[in-house]
Amino acid sequence: MTNLYLIGFMGSGKSTVGRLLAERIGWSFADTDDEIVRREGMEIPEIFAKGGESFFRDLEQATLLELSGRSGWVIATGGGIVLRGRNVEIMKASGKTVYLSAREEVLAARLVGDPAVRPLLGGDSRIARLHELLQERRGMYEWADLTIDTSDQTAQAVVEAIVNHFGLGEPGGRAVRLG
Ligand code: S3P
Taking the C-alpha atoms of residue 144 and residue 28, their distance in angstroms, rounded to an integer, is: 21
The closest-lying atom of ligand 1 relative to the alpha carbon of residue 60 is 9
Residue 26, domain member (yes or no): yes
The whole-number pLDDT of residue 154 equals 96
For ligand 1, whether the C-beta of 78 sits within 6 Å is: yes
| CATH number for the domain that contains residue 150 | 3.40.50.300
The whole-number pLDDT of residue 40 equals 97
Residue 153, domain member (yes or no): yes
The whole-number pLDDT of residue 37 equals 97
Output the known binding site for ATP.
Answer: 11-16, 118, 153
The whole-number pLDDT of residue 106 equals 95
User: How many domains does the chain contain in total?
Assistant: 1
Distance from residue 8's CA to the centre of ligand 1 (Å)? 9
Best of 5, 10, 141 to mutate for ligand 1, by most ligand atoms within 8 A of CB? Answer: 10
The closest-lying atom of ligand 1 relative to the alpha carbon of residue 121 is 10
Residue 32 near residue 58 (C-beta atoms within 8 A): no
Residue 54, domain member (yes or no): yes
Residue nearest atom 10 in ligand 1 by C-alpha distance: 118
Residue 174, domain member (yes or no): no
Stretch 32-54: mean pLDDT = 96
How large a percentage of the chain has pLDDT more than 90? 82
For ligand 1, whether the C-beta of 31 sits within 6 Å is: no
Residue 160, domain member (yes or no): yes
Stretch 48-68: mean pLDDT = 97
pLDDT tops 70 at residue 171: no
Burial class of residue 85 (count of CB atoms within 10 Å of its CB; 0-12, 13-18, 19+)? exposed
Stretch 123-138: mean pLDDT = 88
Residue 172, domain member (yes or no): no
Residue 117, domain member (yes or no): yes
Please report which confidence band the pLDDT of residue 172 belongs to, taking 50, 70 and 90 as the band edges.
very low
CA atoms in the 13 A half-sphere facing the CB of 27: 25
Residue 107: domain span: 3-167
Distance from residue 124's CA to the centre of ligand 1 (Å)? 18
Q: Tell me, what amino acid is at 30?
A: A
Residue 123, domain member (yes or no): yes
